[in-house]
Amino acid sequence: MKKHPVLKIEHMNITFTQYERGLRQVELPVIRDLNVEVHAGEVVAVAGSSGSGKSLLAHGVMGVLPYNASMGGQISYCGEKLTEKKLKKLRGSEIVIVPQSISYLNPLKQIGSQICKGDKSKTKKKKLQEIFNRYDLKPEVETLYPFELSGGMNRRVLISTAMIESPRLVIADEPTPGLDLRAAKRAMEHFRELAAQGAAVLVITHDLELALETVDKIVVFYAGTTIEEASVKDFEQEETLRHPYTKALWRAMPRNGFQFIEENQPYVKELPRGCPFVKQCSMQKEDCKKDVQNRMVRGGLVRCLCAE
């Protein structure tokens, strides 16, 4: 029997309710029909431009969406629905997040107790030493406060706070900005190690080049939806990729010529019903504006009528 994925997100929708001038209520469907699956032992990267919904996906899974957001679709954890009760029990231990911003650190708490979450046991202390070693943090850092550290050090503290646990599911939201290449690689290798021990890891990243060195597959987001899911091998050549936007991402990678992608994701209120990339796509057909479902092409998922 095939094992259940650790995390399975099906048809996730996230809508914000906002009030416009004159107190007219508007609904902004920022995430639509989003599908992501991560298995034990796997490191999956989520790539996509700014505002495509990557952080919202993380916040949706962790149950920490803003008050004016509502979420639909199914999220399951190891084959069972991830209920609020279950999430409350597992969050911070079995299910961890590395948040995108270092502002998530508590400015009034010493680093050591922040990472150990108040646990003063010997085992935790030993784990703290190990994690400090791994992320090149000196023992003195334990008693310092976030404002006494550099941005890169705080970033490593943020990663350490999640990784000191023995998680089964890690969601890392842009864990590497501000880190030098060595530290960034080290963090990615740490995710790989955790996966080798059986965890499922979802890494949200802008650094596709770094991700391709470490992960197993890439899920590409565009304007709040998944438009392709491809293996690392598919990224070796442009021809093995499927969606025109993924191909544009490929061409924008430094090693493939750094070709500029014009970032004009459609505004949520102007989203076509079908493929969100349709306006910029050189291959567009009239039918692309209608419903376009994810489908399998050459062993990978794609939301495009033209891919073959």
Nearer to Ni ion among residue 53 and residue 244 (C-beta): 53
Single residue of 4, 13, 16, 91 touching ligand ATP by CB under 6 A: 16
Residue whose entry in the numeric block shows the structure tokens 């009034």: 108
Q: Which of residues 87-116 bind ligand ATP (CB under 6 A)?
A: 100
Q: Does 30 bind ligand ATP (CB under 6 A)?
A: yes
Is residue 264 within the footprint of ligand ATP (CB under 6 A)?
no
Q: Whose Cβ is closer to Ni ion: residue 13's or residue 55's?
A: 55
Of 209, 233, 199, 236, whose CA–CA distance to 96 is shortest? 199
For ligand ATP, give the closer residue by CB, 115 or 204.
204
Q: Find the binder of ligand ATP among 13, 29, 41, 51 (CB under 6 A).
A: 51
Nearest distance from C-beta of residue 187 to ligand ATP, angstroms: 17
Q: Nearest approach, Cβ of 265 to ligand ATP (angstroms)? A: 8
List the single partner that 294 binds among ligand ATP, Ni ion, none, CB under 5 to 8 Å by kind: none
Q: Which amino acid is at 227?
A: I
- From the list 225, 235, 231, the residue with the least C-alpha distance to 273 is 225
For residue 267, count other CB atoms closer than 10 A to its CB: 10
d(CA 97, CA 92): 8
Out of 56, 149, 220, 230, which residue is the one contacting ligand ATP (CB under 6 A)? 56
Of 219 and 307, the one with the shorter C-beta distance to ligand ATP is 219
Count the site residues for ligand ATP by CB under 6 A.
Answer: 13
Q: According to the binding rule CB under 6 A, does residue 66 interact with ligand ATP?
A: yes
- β-sheet bridge partners, residue 17: 27
CA distance 217 to 214: 9
C-alpha–C-alpha distance, residues 280 and 292, integer Å: 16
Task: Tokens for 273, please give them.
Answer: 């019903």
**55 interacts with ligand ATP by CB under 6 A:** yes
* Of the candidates 9, 62, 59, the residue with the CA atom closest to the CA atom of residue 38: 9
Is 52 a residue that touches ligand ATP (CB under 6 A)?
A: yes
- Residue closer to ligand ATP (CB basis): 100 or 246: 100
* 276: Cα separation from own chain's centroid: 20
Number of H helices, E strands in the chain: 8, 12
Footprint of ligand ATP on this chain (CB under 6 A)? 16, 28, 30, 48, 50-56, 66, 100
